[in-house]
Chains A and B, each alone.
Chain A
Amino acid sequence: MSKSYGPCDVPGARGIALCEPTLFERSTPGRMGCSLPESGSGFRVPGSGDPQSALPPELRRTSPAGWPELSEVEVVRHFVRLSQYNYGVDSGLYPLGSCTMKYNPKLGEDAARLPGFGGAHPAAPHAGLLRLIGELSRDLAEIAGMDAVTCQPAAGAHGELTGMLLVRAYHEARGDNRTTVLIPDTAHGTNPASAAICNYQVRAIASGPDGILTPEAVAAAMDESVAAIMITNPNTLGLFETHIEQIAKIVHDKGALLYMDGANLNALLGVARPGDFGVDLLHFNLHKTFATPHGGGGPGSGPVGVKKHLAPFLPAPLVVADGAGWRLDEDRPQSIGRVRSWFGNVGMLVRAWTFIRELGPAGLRQASEMAVLNANYLRARLQDLYAVAYDRPCMHEIVFSDKNLPNGVTTMELAKRLIDYGFHPPTVYFPLVVHGAIMVEPTESFEPEALEGFIAAMRAIYAEAADNPDLVKHAPHNSFVKKVDEVAAARKPRLTADM
């Protein structure tokens, strides 16, 4: 064997913890991993020339694309091995705050793969899928207290962008050229970035001493130049914005709109509806609240719901009720236009529809209740060691701080040590307003025994930080790779393998 695979040269020699070479290192000229039909001469047409004739020279590719050469057996083992280096929701507790890493039902996976869905060409009519998208839009509107929903946006940030475009179109249609969007200091980074694409100035407002927005701060920041305020509720500290109704009134009195980032909607299903507390528009994250898988970084799905006054501006085409059925409404003169090709991430819409249908109204409410119960249980069991940023009951997630950790052990070191205990770390250093934030969102999908394991690990790491801080500071020790040098990666970026 002439190939060198680097530090662990002999594949299979170190159990499941060996290095998996890249596809390019594994490639061997002459191997093939697919089964294609023969082309043959059957396609020659007598009298009309040879259809296999080469392209005009200026249109030809000159060098091959350089894809590797591997048999199916090698490719399968490659990706199975790589999968073993990953940690997913099915591996264990994955308390990544604000990401709602809940269980992804297997039924949804089967549903999206039904040949009638998976094989549907988008230019061919499909009454069943229009009905499914229509019904999902209707159910999402009911869940959030909205009047209309578009399922086009591909992810949460894409939903936000759609939302900001709707805000812009709404004001422009009234001849009102507003310039500014207000964003609390606890907001997701996508919020300001989405507003910026719509050419809005971003103005930050600070949350109050209780970790929530005060009506006074909003009133002080409001003027006639403000187009909208973008609020996450519950906010990224896991706290419900208790003054939301009053804030909505202040915002509306100045002619502005209230946008809600629905990232944290998993706290509110069947409990409270954004439309009932003054929200004019919001985006949903189907990959958070409605159990579609996160896919190692998408695809997500970010439908946007609006109140009546914004409905004319929704993207075209829109799936609308038409008698007993559903149809595509293309004739939308005030629409912001398309935000993508076709109709949305339909595979995700099928999974979310399936989730809502299986849970029903009581199940949806129960999901939120148990998510909030789990988060408060973690708070109750850990707050003696880990300082909570705000001493009040939380909703679906709880933010701890690293300020009490002994011997200067940091949040990042704690996160890496949690890996040794078999848990995915929480979201760290966000929100920015909390020192060394440790943002924990257990979701409803984990049973009390799983929470006990996490609590035990967090408490054990605290003890280690006091007694043997080096053990924590050099973690992880049990993972497939040790601490990864992210600084070196950025200093001299190597983004592709050598030819």
Chain B
Amino acid sequence: MNRYIPHTPDDVSRLLAAIGAKSVEDLFASVPAPLRLARELDVPAPLDETALLKQLGALAGPAPRVCFGGGGAYWHYIPAAIDHLLRRSEIYTAYTPYQPEIAQGTLQTIFEFQTMIARLLAMEVANASMYDGATAVAEAALMAARLTKKNKFVVSAGLHPQYLATLRTYTKWTGAVLTPAPLAADGRTDIALLAELVDGETAGVIVQSPNYLGALEDTRRVGEIVKGKPARFIHAFTEPLAFGAIVPPGEAGAHIAAGEGQSLGIPLSFGGPGLGLFAVTQKDMRAMPGRLVGETVDAEGKRAFCLTLSTREQHIRREKATSNICTNHGLMATAATMYMALIGREGLRRVAELNRTKAEYLKSKLAACGEVLPAPTFNEFGWTPKRPAARVLAALADAGIFGGVALAGFAPIVDNAILTCVTEMVTREEIDRYVEIVRSV
């Protein structure tokens, strides 16, 4: 017997008798005998809790080192209260709130999530979450194609390469044409060139800011270029905390904001589960993918929340749905809601300031050790060391420091660049040590 399966042999006999079956095997009579597995599954033998924890400990390895890695996954402060709250099993063992009368906790949380995400992105409506930033951007492109009935996209070369790959996968059979808008030498999208690529047949213009090299795009100009055309401006992002300081998608005139929310209180966890964020204007709301929670009242007139506008969704519209998404990333959205509540208005300003200040400090120090991208940045930046990047990163790793993401082959910095990220988690001593090691290579 196993601790997760309560049935004793007596229980089994009693239940079988009530059913009128002689054996458990009889219950599987509808599975034709030749299709039944005549042996045990060849999976490892069971382990007890203690042995299992030892194996898990060995696989997990030590707690992580000092992390200067960004590139779509960020090492940020997570207030201790979040995990204590997330472990309330009424929260994490529930499912999609189809029965609002016993799911008000989940529903009110998602309503608060939608509100705070909309405010962070300066958009009118946010959904209940997508899987991650990459799929959110891909779904944004599909949505823009549906709305405009056009299929040409202008895609900034500063889009995260994994997002671009996912976008290609999602649009491969839809007839979409993706035209790259190249980066200028400073690491930002060449806006003049981008403007020439956008015309009346464009379904969407996809620009990420901060972009994959960390550069802050002039998104207000992108908004102006798209204005008055049928095309939707899809503002992609990997680092939502940047919007504590820099122009958010809505202020830049974006129609769709789509990106990653992992920075909002969610552990790195080797890249997943993250949190896809997706927000639109009121006008396009009904073409949006994903779940939405709305405020309403109960039979006694008391405020209540429920899933709404579900006629867009697959369980009603089937092949005509706005997306096939069903389960999204509810628990990650819950963690983000807790994060945004704890960090608050002042905390967001300070986190943004800390990230930018610390990154600027490291940038100024590294100017003597290589070439730093000249574009304005938030908390990460591409730079080319004087020494081979692989050797620099290896020397940092030897000192217990994850020094950043190797940018081999990513234009305009080629072959020997590093993407380094500095968050509020890193101390001045750790930054100075970083510089010292880079100098010593």
Are the C-beta atoms of B134 and A341 separated by less than 8 Å? yes
> In chain B between 297 and 337, which residues have their CB closer than 8 angstroms to a CB of chain A?
297-311, 313-321, 323-332, 334, 337
Q: Which 7 A-B pairs have the closest CB atoms?
A: A342-B271, A360-B46, A297-B330, A116-B60, A295-B331, A122-B271, A51-B360
Are the C-beta atoms of A45 and B365 separated by less than 8 Å? yes
Are the C-beta atoms of A296 and B296 separated by less than 8 Å? no
Which of B36, B135, B273 lies at the interface centre, i.e. has the most chain A CB atoms within 10 A of its CB?
B273
Can you list 12 A-B pairs, Cβ within 8 angstroms, ordered by A? A33-B341, A66-B119, A83-B91, A85-B108, A90-B93, A158-B131, A296-B91, A297-B106, A341-B260, A358-B46, A447-B11, A481-B100
Q: A298-B329, A341-B160 are in contact. Are A59 and B216 (CB under 8 A)?
A: yes
Are the C-beta atoms of B300 and A482 separated by less than 8 Å? yes
User: What's the minimum C-beta distance from A415 to chain B, rounded to whole angstroms?
Assistant: 7
Are the C-beta atoms of B357 and A485 separated by less than 8 Å? no
Interface size class for chain B?
Answer: 35 or more
Query: In the complex, which residues of chain B have a beta carbon less than 8 angstroms from the beta carbon of A43?
Result: 357-358, 360-361, 428
Query: In the complex, which residues of chain A have a beta carbon less than 8 angstroms from the beta carbon of B314?
Result: 157, 189-190, 192-193
Are the C-beta atoms of A22 and B95 separated by less than 8 Å? no
Are the C-beta atoms of A39 and B353 separated by less than 8 Å? yes
Are the C-beta atoms of B4 and A291 separated by less than 8 Å? yes
CB-CB nearest in chain A for B303: A6
Which of B4, B6, B294 lies at the interface centre, i.e. has the most chain A CB atoms within 10 A of its CB?
B4
Query: In the complex, which residues of chain A have a beta carbon less than 8 angstroms from the beta carbon of B376?
Result: 55-56, 59
Q: How far is the CA of A373 from the CA of B6 in the complex (A)?
A: 12
Q: How far is the CA of A268 from the CA of B57 in the complex (A)?
A: 31
Residues 303-321 of A, flagged 1 when their CB comes within 8 A of B and 0 if not, give 0000000000001000000
Q: How far is the CA of A52 from the CA of B306 in the complex (A)?
A: 44
> In chain B between 254 and 288, which residues have their CB closer than 8 angstroms to a CB of chain A?
260, 267-274, 285
Query: In the complex, which residues of chain A have a beta carbon less than 8 angstroms from the beta carbon of B27?
Result: 369, 372-373, 376, 393
Query: In the complex, which residues of chain A have a beta carbon less than 8 angstroms from the beta carbon of B436?
Result: none
Are the C-beta atoms of B295 and A489 separated by less than 8 Å? yes
Are the C-beta atoms of B77 and A126 separated by less than 8 Å? no
State whether the Cβ of B147 lies closer than 8 Å to any Cβ in chain A. Answer: no
Query: In the complex, which residues of chain B have a beta carbon less than 8 angstroms from the beta carbon of A99?
Result: 95
State whether the Cβ of A464 lies closer than 8 Å to any Cβ in chain B. Answer: no
Are the C-beta atoms of A128 and B324 separated by less than 8 Å? no
User: What's the minimum C-beta distance from B253 to chain A, rounded to whole angstroms?
Assistant: 12
Stretch at the interface among A216-224, A346-354, A399-407: A346-354
Query: In the complex, which residues of chain B have a beta carbon less than 8 angstroms from the beta carbon of A495?
Result: 111, 114, 125-126, 285, 292-295, 308
User: What's the minimum C-beta distance from A176 to chain B, rounded to whole angstroms?
Assistant: 14
CB-CB nearest in chain A for B133: A341
Q: How far is the CA of A495 from the CA of B128 in the complex (A)?
A: 10
State whether the Cβ of B122 lies closer than 8 Å to any Cβ in chain A. Answer: yes
State whether the Cβ of B156 lies closer than 8 Å to any Cβ in chain A. Answer: no
Q: How far is the CA of A168 from the CA of B305 in the complex (A)?
A: 40
Query: In the complex, which residues of chain B have a beta carbon less than 8 angstroms from the beta carbon of A244?
Result: 35
State whether the Cβ of A48 lies closer than 8 Å to any Cβ in chain B. Answer: yes
State whether the Cβ of A334 lies closer than 8 Å to any Cβ in chain B. Answer: no
Are the C-beta atoms of A55 and B324 separated by less than 8 Å? no
Report the interface size for chain A: residues with CB under 8 A from the other chain: 202
Which of A295, A358, A363, A367 lies at the interface centre, i.e. has the most chain B CB atoms within 10 A of its CB?
A295
Task: Specify which of B98, B131, B334 is in contact with A340 (CB 8 Å cutoff).
Answer: B131
Are the C-beta atoms of A485 and B247 separated by less than 8 Å? no
User: What's the minimum C-beta distance from B322 to chain A, rounded to whole angstroms?
Assistant: 9
User: What's the minimum C-beta distance from A491 to chain B, rounded to whole angstroms?
Assistant: 9
Query: In the complex, which residues of chain B have a beta carbon less than 8 angstroms from the beta carbon of A109?
Result: 87, 92
Are the C-beta atoms of B303 and A7 separated by less than 8 Å? yes
Q: A45-B361, A372-B27 are in contact. Are A156 and B326 (CB under 8 A)?
A: yes
Q: How far is the CA of A417 from the CA of B176 in the complex (A)?
A: 49
State whether the Cβ of B165 lies closer than 8 Å to any Cβ in chain A. Answer: yes
CB-CB nearest in chain A for B349: A64
State whether the Cβ of A435 lies closer than 8 Å to any Cβ in chain B. Answer: no
State whether the Cβ of B90 lies closer than 8 Å to any Cβ in chain A. Answer: yes
State whether the Cβ of A202 lies closer than 8 Å to any Cβ in chain B. Answer: yes
Q: How far is the CA of A72 from the CA of B82 in the complex (A)?
A: 10
Q: A86-B91, A294-B93, A299-B329 are in contact. Are A193 and B317 (CB under 8 A)?
A: yes
User: What's the minimum C-beta distance from A355 to chain B, rounded to whole angstroms?
Assistant: 8
Query: In the complex, which residues of chain B have a beta carbon less than 8 angstroms from the beta carbon of A1?
Result: none
Query: In the complex, which residues of chain A have a beta carbon less than 8 angstroms from the beta carbon of B64?
Result: 115-116, 119-121, 124
Are the C-beta atoms of A63 and B173 separated by less than 8 Å? no
> In chain B between 28 and 56, which residues have their CB closer than 8 angstroms to a CB of chain A?
28-32, 34-37, 40-47, 49, 52-53, 55-56
Are the C-beta atoms of B132 and A341 separated by less than 8 Å? yes
Residues 167-200 of B, flagged 1 when their CB comes within 8 A of A and 0 if not, give 0111011110000000000000000000000000
Task: Specify which of A128, A240, A359, A448 is in contact with B7 (CB 8 Å cutoff).
Answer: A448
